[in-house]
């Protein structure tokens, strides 16, 4: 049976625990539906019909019980393989882009390379934006124009620059962070070609809009938070969720009702950190969630990072020289850097170990990529145009002479999950048990 429809005994056991039932009781419920008894030892060889019956009996979506195909440690694609993914995009009556997809695991969002084909003599037609945030990098060989609104000004009509200095052009070009539903489009700035790399990654809000909240709940959330700063609205809701009135919170925290009320309902009001701490101490919640935060961004929400700003960040990092790409505190999972390799005299190097999965695009030279897989070290020769995806927490490294762009995101493990890890009691033990532990919850005979 393929891994795509195979019951996972760990997931089954977890849902038995969640439903506060036992395998014996499950078999009683299944007695007139299937003609054999389920055990944790035979459940991974069940047919599709039986798996669906078990999911229905436990009132669980089938997808919650199925074993996922094992995620690879890395994926490599050559420039030739990437070029075979080319697909033309026609917009506004012209051949507007060519898209190419970089390697990524099944079900993951992939970075794309775009040939910018809209000619410089016409204003490029805007798209409608997308939920997923993105980092976009100008790859050259020439500058292009990036447009972000109908009305053009210095914020919404930007020359997206490349670095032509031969000494530092491993820092290939400018980059920008694009928030959710930021409209954008591109055109050439001359008759000459331009290319971009765009990493549009997963949004952590997707589950809210995709069924975790029903239509009624979603509409009520929109209406209740309208015209309020979302962090302050969530504080109001947290107080309510814990069963406190503002008067009772004020009494216990010694923060006046007026201060609390103003902070929640008046955008121009402020509250001292110590007062917010007192309120959250009373309701036993994390004050960091409800703080006002500031972000570097312009009037359309993007953060443009000229390559000259990247050059200011050049630094040594392990066996390499690196320079930062744009990043935003609004979406800390999405980040990256330019990477220069200049260690021809070194043999195997395994010195990169990240807590996020990463995409590498080779922008110049010829190098060796090394990755540790158990007790073995595998190596692959890489050159300009090739690309590699690496999983989180995998030892790898590079030797040779060349350059890469690295972009990391949270599709393996995101910052919300990291917060959960920090908040988990005895997290090492929990991690150890959560993956492969078949122990039941303790009430089986």
The DSSP line for 73-107 is: SEEEE-HHHHHTT-EEEEETTEEEEEEEE----TT
**Gyration radius of the chain over CA positions:** 26
Can you read off the two tokens belonging to residue 411?
Answer: 């599709």
DSSP state of 42: T
Model confidence, pTM: 0.90
Q: How far apart are CA 71 and CA 73, in angstroms?
A: 7
What percent of the chain has a predicted confidence (pLDDT) above 90?
81
Question: Which region among 68-72, 88-92, 175-179, 304-308 has the lowest average model confidence (pLDDT)?
Answer: 68-72
* Cβ 230 vs Cβ 290: under 8 Å: no
Selected residue with higher pLDDT from 93 and 347: 93
* Cβ 336 vs Cβ 405: under 8 Å: yes
* Cβ 377 vs Cβ 348: under 8 Å: yes
Residue 391, beta-bridge partner list: none
Q: 294 to each of 279, 329, 330, 333, 336, how far by Cα in Å?
A: 22, 9, 9, 18, 21
pLDDT of residue 2: 45
Among 135, 185, 422, smallest CA distance to 302 is for 135
Whether residue 209 has pLDDT greater than 90: no
Whether residue 4 has pLDDT greater than 60: no
Q: First vs last Cα of the chain: how many Å apart? A: 31
Report H helices in 372-441.
415-423, 427-436
Encode pLDDT of 59-104 as tens digits. Answer: 999 989 988 878 999 999 999 999 999 999 999 999 999 999 999 9
- Average pLDDT for 3-12: 80
Whether residue 445 has pLDDT greater than 70: no
Whether residue 442 has pLDDT greater than 80: no
Whether residue 444 has pLDDT greater than 70: no
Q: Which domains does the chain have, with CATH numbers?
A: 1-70+413-445 (1.10.260.40), 74-200 (2.60.120.10), 230-290 (1.10.260.40), 303-409 (2.60.120.10)
123 C-beta neighbours (distance < 10 Å), count: 15
pLDDT of residue 348: 92
* Cβ 286 vs Cβ 296: under 8 Å: no
Mean of the per-residue pLDDT values of the chain: 93
| Top-ranked range on mean pLDDT: pick from 15-19, 203-207, 349-353 | 349-353
Among 363, 306, 359, smallest CA distance to 163 is for 306
Among 383, 399, 404, 403, smallest CA distance to 345 is for 399
Encode pLDDT of 134-174 as tens digits. Answer: 999 999 999 999 999 999 999 999 999 999 999 999 999 99
pLDDT of residue 3: 46
């Amino acid at each position: 049976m393929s891994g795509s429809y195979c019951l996972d005994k760990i997931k089954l056991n977890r849902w038995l625990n969640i439903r506060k039932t036992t395998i014996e009781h499950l078999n009683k419920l299944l007695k007139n539906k299937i003609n054999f008894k389920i055990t944790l030892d035979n459940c991974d060889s069940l047919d599709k019909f039986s798996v669906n019956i078990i999911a229905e009996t436990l009132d669980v979506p089938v997808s919650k019980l199925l074993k996922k195909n094992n995620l690879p440690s890395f994926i490599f694609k050559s420039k030739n393989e990437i070029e075979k993914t080319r697909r033309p995009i026609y917009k506004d009556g012209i051949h507007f882009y060519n898209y190419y997809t970089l390697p990524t695991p099944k079900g993951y969002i992939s970075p794309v390379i775009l040939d910018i084909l809209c000619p410089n003599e016409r204003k490029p037609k805007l798209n409608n934006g997308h939920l997923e945030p993105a980092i976009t990098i100008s790859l050259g060989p020439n500058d292009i124009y990036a447009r972000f609104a109908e009305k053009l000004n210095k914020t919404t009509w930007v020359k997206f620059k490349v670095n032509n200095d031969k000494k530092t052009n491993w820092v290939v070009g400018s980059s920008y962070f694009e928030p959710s539903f930021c409209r954008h489009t591109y055109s050439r700035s001359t008759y000459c070609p331009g290319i971009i790399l765009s990493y549009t990654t997963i949004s952590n809000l997707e589950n809210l809009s995709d069924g975790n909240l029903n239509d009624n709940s979603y509409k009520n959330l929109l209406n209740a938070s309208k015209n309020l700063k979302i962090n302050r609205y969530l504080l109001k809701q947290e107080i309510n969720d814990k069963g406190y009135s503002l008067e009772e919170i004020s009494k216990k925290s010694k923060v006046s009702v007026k201060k609390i009320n103003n902070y929640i309902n008046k955008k121009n009001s402020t509250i001292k950190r110590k007062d917010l701490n007192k309120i959250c101490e009373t309701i036993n919640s994390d004050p960091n969630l409800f703080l006002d935060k500031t972000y570097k961004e312009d009037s359309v929400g993007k953060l443009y990072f000229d390559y000259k700003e990247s050059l200011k960040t050049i630094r040594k990092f392990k066996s390499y020289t690196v320079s930062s790409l744009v990043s935003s505190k609004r979406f800390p999972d999405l980040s990256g850097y330019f990477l220069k390799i200049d260690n021809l005299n070194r043999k195997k190097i395994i010195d990169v170990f990240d807590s996020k999965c990463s995409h590498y695009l080779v922008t110049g030279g010829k190098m060796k990529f090394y990755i540790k897989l158990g007790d073995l070290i595998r190596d692959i020769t890489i050159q300009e145009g090739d690309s590699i995806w690496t999983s989180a927490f995998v030892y790898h490294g590079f030797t040779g002479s060349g350059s890469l762009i690295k972009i990391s995101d949270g599709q393996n493990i995101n910052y919300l999950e990291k917060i959960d890890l920090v908040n988990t009691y005895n997290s090492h033990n929990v991690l150890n048990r959560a993956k492969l532990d078949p122990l039941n919850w303790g009430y089986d005979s």
